[in-house]
Amino acid sequence: MPTPNVEAVKLDELNAWRIRHGQAELLVAQQGAHILSYQVDGQPPLIWLNDQATFKTGKSIRAGVPVCWPWFGNLTRNPDSVQAMRVSNDPATAHGLVRAMDWELKGIETEGESLKVEFVLPYPENGLSGWPHQVDLTLTIVMDERLHIHLTSHNRGSETVSLSQALHSYFAVSDVRNVQVEGVDGLSYIETLDDWNTHTQAGNLHFAGETDRIYLDTPPTLSILDPHWERRIELTSSGSRSAVIWNPWTERAKAFSDMADDGWQRMLCIETANVMDDVVTLLPQASHTLGVSIGSKPL
């Protein structure tokens, strides 16, 4: 059984842990329970660590795997049931409330050949800002031959709660202009760059400009084919029927202060999600787990 190596590190203002298990290394921050990078020895990274990312208290990080919860994206674009959960007249932050909060590291332990890292975000004593619902969160990360990420929402209150969410994964690619996504052929998708109209995907998805699409009724497995790095990244989701595929391309990337002008070339987001008609409805005392398992194999 491999012995894990855990090192506490400081990234500017943020606490983080660098964890080695077998041939893999994981970097995860306490703020947001945010996976920052994941790489297997001798291979390119799987999870993209943006070299221009900023690590400031209370500021969300543009890299790795942000947790978007209890709503995804712009709240006003969410179904009415999700919007109704918020009780505030102040503008809603994009992608919810928990990306910039400190989570508790509950434990790091081996389970057979696997290593489990668990973070919890109990319902705060004073509630979440403008969101007065008693839902606890657990983020579980398991390292074995793949990387497994599971986000569990547990409704401890007496009222039904509706939420949208995503594991906003940034994947490392050799050059997004030369990769394609397999598994989307024939799927309906919402093209947010075309006034949120619905289209049907024909064949694999290739990239030749800014991309921001919500794919509906997705299959369990999607793949990124990267011929230059001669690999296939496989994503196998659970608790999800939707996925968001995003790349900012040239002009959007230039507008980001925390991304190099050419950073868009080296990343591709496929976000395992519960969005649009795939939102989660949690009855009192009920739980829901959103998950994704990530691995790579030669093309």
Q: 41 burial class (0-12, 13-18, 19+ CB within 10 angstroms)?
A: exposed
Residue 120 and residue 139: Cα distance in Å, rounded? 6
**Given the residues 34, 95, 148, 168, the one annotated as active site:** 168
What CA dihedral angle connects 41, 47, 49 and 53, to 10 degrees? -170
DSSP 71-119: S-S-GGGS-HHHHTT---SSPPPTTBSSTTSBPEEEEEEEETTEEEEEE
| Residue 145 known to be catalytic | no
Distances (CA, A) of 101 to 14, 24, 67, 249: 11, 27, 10, 29
Evaluate whether 238 touches 221 at the Cβ level (below 8 Å): no
Q: Is 150 a catalytic residue?
A: no
Q: How far apart are CA 208 and CA 159, in angstroms?
A: 46
Q: Phi/psi class of residue 290: alpha, beta or left (left: φ > 0; alpha: ψ in -120 to 50)?
A: beta
Neighbouring-strand partners of residue 145: none
Which residue out of 118, 133, 271, 288 is catalytically annotated?
271
| Spatial distance between the Cα atoms of 237 and 294, rounded to a whole number of angstroms | 9
Q: Which amino acid is present at 217?
A: D
Report which of 166, 183, 174 is spatially closest to residue 291, judged by C-alpha positions: 166
Euclidean distance between the first and final Cα of the chain, in Å? 29
The catalytic residue positions are 168, 271
